[in-house]
Amino acid sequence: RRNRSIQGCARTRRNHATLSTMPTIAEKQAVLIDEFTFFNEWMDKYNHIIEMGKALPVLDELDKKDDLLVQGCQSKVWLKAEKQGDCVRFWADADAIIAKGIVAMLIDVFDNQPAKEVAAADLGFLEEIGLKDHLSPTRANGLMSMIKQMKFYALAFGGAN
């Protein structure tokens, strides 16, 4: 699903001899909202989040260092970021399936986006899909810690307005 080119975040890509725009953060959020409206029961939504985590590329064991651990998560969540051009690339792993799914969802939204846009992003889709209302307080804190860390990386990579 994600284009992991080393060129950074080219805002356009070739598609059948025409140029098409890469999805923005808002567009990626809209896709996730559409995906989650398909499910009526929260167990189905949890299963979808878990499947997103299973689809996340495995983080190299060498990258599972303490300095990449997201502070404030109940589970161990490793988050790696790199600046490529004006954009931020993210990779992650977690030792719990729901945490891995949540970080996979955030990566789906933020990966290969301009650092300034990541730093300034409003993640309204989390409210819209009802995720915050269906997480335990410790998981909700972990979600906020993941978002905070991703935005911190974006700011560090020049995403300040």
List 25, 56, 73, 147, catalytic entry: 73
d(CA 104, CA 88): 15
Please state the separation of Cα 43 from the chain's center in Å.
21
3-class SS of residue 73: coil
- Residue 73 a catalytic site member: yes
Q: Which of 69, 44, 138, 55 is nearest to 100 (CA)?
A: 55
The pairs formed by 133-138 with CB atoms below 8 angstroms and a separation of 24 or more are 134/42, 134/45, 134/46, 138/74
DSSP secondary structure of 28-65? HHHHHHHHHHT--SHHHHHHHHHHHHHHSPPPPGGG--
Residues 82/87/91/94 CA torsion (nearest 10 deg): 110
By annotation, the residues acting in catalysis are: 73
